[in-house]
Amino acid sequence: MTSKGITVLGATGSIGESTLSVLALHPDRYHVVALTAQSNTSRLAEQCKQHNARYAVISDQDKAAELRVALAALNCRSEVLAGRQALCDVACLPESEVVMAAIVGAAGLESTLRTVQSGKHLLLANKESMVIAGELFRQEAAKHGTTIIPVDSEHNALFQVLPKGFEQGLEQAGVEKLLLTASGGPFLHTRRQDLQHITPEQACDHPNWDMGRKISVDSATLINKGLEVIEARWLFNARPDQIEVVIHPQSIVHSMVAYRDGSVLAQLGMPDMRTPIAHALAWPERIESGVARLNFADLQSLEFHQPDLERFPGLRLAFQVLEAGGNAAVIFNAANEIAVDAFLHRRIGFLQIPSVVANAMDKCKQGKITGLDEVLEFDRQTREVTRQIVDSLT
Ligand code: NAD
Ligand code: MG
């Protein structure tokens, strides 16, 4: 077996750490080429040492010297690269065949897109980039023959249960619906009046999944599911009416495909991201992930019900975004990133997150997207508008 070179963008995050733990189980199969982080130099240095990375990349330019010191202290010889451009540079290194895109938010857009343009295997965790530039990703992937394997557990599940050739069209493949499951987050049963007082700590305490702070808040508002609906639209070339969200509090069924003949195929497993990561890494083969096995005798019950769009208006907004097309997803995502950050800094309340996003969607100009420059410009404008909305509330 030849060893594959892999680069992990966002190595110090939750997905990055899980990816490295799967890689550590397969030292003959994979070797690490580059690892990146925004600012956590000590953790990045430890990871580079452990995985013998050729490049250690820090996107905050001012932290380059600190990273060199941290690497030297560990007697690690990884070459230091720094700055935003370095993220794009390591996304297309000839030594790596596979890139795990695990930066959080639109900050991952350029490096993830660069991976697609380099024709490498892209393992996509950075859902926000697909949400805001889905059409561009599809075009570039087709042009460069890039395989995009979803890591998001729902999309990875769908990828596993869709038939071969689904890219030609879901209808042709006999698919009626993509059923995205959602745990419902920590406040599934919380009354609306009580949602008002939710703290960042409560919002980040997800019942089933251990994740980064931004996606944890998104899961609590169900805006994560909204982003995932849009992600599914682009990954699977689905129409809005072909995507449905089903609340499933146990997070055992990771998503389902309903076929024309009445069959429904599901992928099940423990709620542990190492399963979709291992699947994406080895596809079309299967490798050990280190994840505990599902024990059916231990499962009390599997419940399914409809989402409550009154208490979680963020999900409704996402369906409106899908219908609107154009730059609506860029606005939705950028406004949400600013609102979540404001919530995490205790500047706005939990219920204000979807209302700030809705307000930004009203205020920002509708427009078309024809390339990366427009995406970046609409993203920038939306952030400015949303910051003003947040300022007016505090
Ligand atoms: P995280 O916050 O734990 O980690 C984010 C990583 O990105 C870190 O390595 C950080 O250094 C880096 N980063 C952050 N901001 C950056 C910037 N401005 N420039 C460069 N690098 C930056 O996030 P996470 O939970 O691992 O999520 C990563 C992505 O995977 C997100 O898009 C998320 O939606 C998606 N995802 C995560 C999970 C999960 O279980 N955590 C599940 C499904 C999808
Ligand atoms: Mg998900």
1 pLDDT band (50/70/90 cuts)? confident
Crossing angle for the helix pair 328-344 and 352-363, to the nearest 10 degrees: 140
CA of 222 to the centre of ligand 1 (A): 18
Verify whether ligand 1 is closer than 6 Å to residue 212 (CB atom).
yes
Mutation choice for ligand 1 from 8, 14, 22, CB with most ligand atoms inside 8 A: 14
CA distance 47 to 20: 8
Domains annotated on the chain, with CATH: 4-150 (3.40.50.720), 153-271+296-309 (no CATH), 325-394 (1.10.1740.10)
> What per-residue confidence (pLDDT) applies to 29?
98
Amino acid identity for residue 356 in this structure: V
Q: Is the pLDDT of residue 238 over 80?
A: yes
Q: Is the pLDDT of residue 349 over 80?
A: yes
Verify whether ligand 1 is closer than 6 Å to residue 136 (CB atom).
no
Q: Is the pLDDT of residue 306 over 90?
A: yes
Q: Closest Cα partner for 240 from 154, 185, 180?
A: 180
Nearest protein Cα to ligand 1, atom 20: 38
Alpha helix (H) ranges present in the chain? Answer: 14-24, 41-51, 64-73, 84-91, 109-117, 127-144, 153-161, 192-195, 200-203, 213-221, 223-235, 274-282, 313-324, 328-344, 352-363, 372-393
Verify whether ligand 1 is closer than 6 Å to residue 273 (CB atom).
yes
> What per-residue confidence (pLDDT) applies to 331?
98
282 pLDDT band (50/70/90 cuts)? very high
Average pLDDT for the chain: 97
pTM of the model: 0.98
Nearest atom in ligand 1 to 37's CA: 11
Verify whether ligand 1 is closer than 6 Å to residue 314 (CB atom).
no
pLDDT more than 90, % of the chain: 97
Both tokens of residue 201?
């700590």
CA of 228 to the centre of ligand 2 (A): 7
Nearest atom in ligand 1 to 39's CA: 11
Cβ contact 276:152 at 8 Å: yes
Model pLDDT for residues 11-23, shown as the tens digit of each residue: 999 999 999 999 9
106 CB-near residues (< 8 Å, 6+ apart): 128, 129, 132, 333, 334, 337, 379
DSSP class of 241? G
325 CB-near residues (< 8 Å, 6+ apart): none
Model pLDDT for residues 103-146, shown as the tens digit of each residue: 999 999 999 999 999 999 999 999 999 999 999 999 999 999 99
CA distance 297 to 301: 10
Nearest atom in ligand 1 to 227's CA: 34
Verify whether ligand 1 is closer than 6 Å to residue 14 (CB atom).
yes
